[in-house]
Amino acid sequence: MLVVMRPNATPTEINRVVEAIKAQGLTPHPLPGATRTAVGMTGNTLAVDKGLFEVLPGVEEAIRVTKPFKLASREMKTDDTVVRTKFGDIGPGTFTIVAGPCSVENLDVTLRTAEYLMSRGVRWLRAGAFKPRTSPYSFQGMGVDGLKILAQVREKTGIGIVTELMDTEHAAAVEEYSDVIQIGTRNMQNFSLLKRVGQCRKPVLLKRGMSATLEEWLMSAEYILAGGNYDVILCERGVRTFSDHSRNTLDLSVIPPAKVLTHLPIVVDPSHGTGKRAYVPAMALAGMAAGADGVMIEIHPDPDKALSDSAQTISFTTMDGILDKLKAMAPVFGRTL
């Protein structure tokens, strides 16, 4: 249920609603909007009596949220969420670019990539220190040493760090060293991990499960929001289909319906979405056209030598071409880069 306050409701009146929700044994979620505040509630298994809240001063109305995801839904929050960070806002209006190697390999590669990105005005570096690899014999990532390299590179260049958290065991370390915590496709329904990042005070980039429906994806986002972490960014990274011309099928058609159902920002990952570097530029540009709020792309100073996902990793020169085109397209789509 959502308790919508009148536009002129006072902080005391809002607080009274918050206390009334707690008195029912439920969790209040104040949602300040452009013209008025609404207070969502979660934790009820049975229907809650609307009358309990509609009699309180400053309350306009109490509305039942019909979707199974509550805090993630547009019904609960009509305004788009903009995730605010010291490296820039993530959400509509702007267009966020995140790029970097699949894995943290060593200081040199990570630093050279960050320096290149900063020289092109890109404020976010991606690289995994913990890698979910299909084969146990493939490079598994540098672990905490990799996180330390990322922190060193941020210190030197001022770039923001997006890096994956694979298990609850490393949550504290990844929260400490990252600026955005990535949850990978294989962990989209790892509910204990989702609950754990709900407790984190860093934004979470939630990748879509490779065979997850839009509703399942939003239910996973709900786990994080319900824990009190409202800074969730969705990432479409391709789904499994019968098509074998690409590693996955980048489902750009999920973006318009996602924008109807949720207020959360969405970025597109054309690297995992295609699995082949030749197809990455076209799908990155298509991401902006489809309404995404950003892209996340795998790049490397020497793509053929990348320790993971080499086939889908592009060079700095190819990235230059994408950036030039995105900059030219941005005004058409109402975005600033």
Does 269 bind Mn ion (CB under 5 A)? Our answer is no
Interface with ligand PEP: number of residues (CB under 6 A): 8
Out of Mn ion, ligand PEP, none, which partner does residue 146 contact, by CB within 5 to 8 A per kind? none
Q: Name the H helices within 170-290.
A: 171-177, 191-198, 214-226, 255-261, 270-274, 280-289
Interacting residues with Mn ion between 208 and 247 (CB under 5 A): none
Q: How far apart are CA 52 and CA 25, in angstroms?
A: 13
Find the helix packing angle between 316-329 and 280-289, rounded to 10°: 20
Neighbours of 276 (CB within 10 A): 13
The CA-based angle 308-314-320, given to 5 degrees, is 145
Two structure tokens written together for 179: 């600026």
Comparing CB distances to ligand PEP, the nearer of 92 and 128 is 128
Say how many residues make up the chain.
337
Q: How far apart are CA 54 and CA 61, in angstroms?
A: 6
Interface pick for Mn ion out of 38, 102, 292, 306 (rule CB under 5 A): 102
Interacting residues with ligand PEP between 149 and 208 (CB under 6 A): 184-185, 207
Interface pick for Mn ion out of 122, 163, 309, 335 (rule CB under 5 A): 309
Mask for 206-245, x = binds ligand PEP (CB under 6 A): -x-----------------------------x--------
Residue nearest to ligand PEP as judged by C-beta position: 184
Out of ligand PEP, Mn ion, none, which partner does residue 229 contact, by CB within 5 to 8 A per kind? none
Q: How far apart are CA 256 and CA 187, in angstroms?
A: 24
Interacting residues with ligand PEP between 80 and 139 (CB under 6 A): 102, 128, 132
**By the criterion CB under 5 A, which residues form the site for Mn ion?**
102, 309
**By the criterion CB under 6 A, which residues form the site for ligand PEP?**
102, 128, 132, 184-185, 207, 237, 272
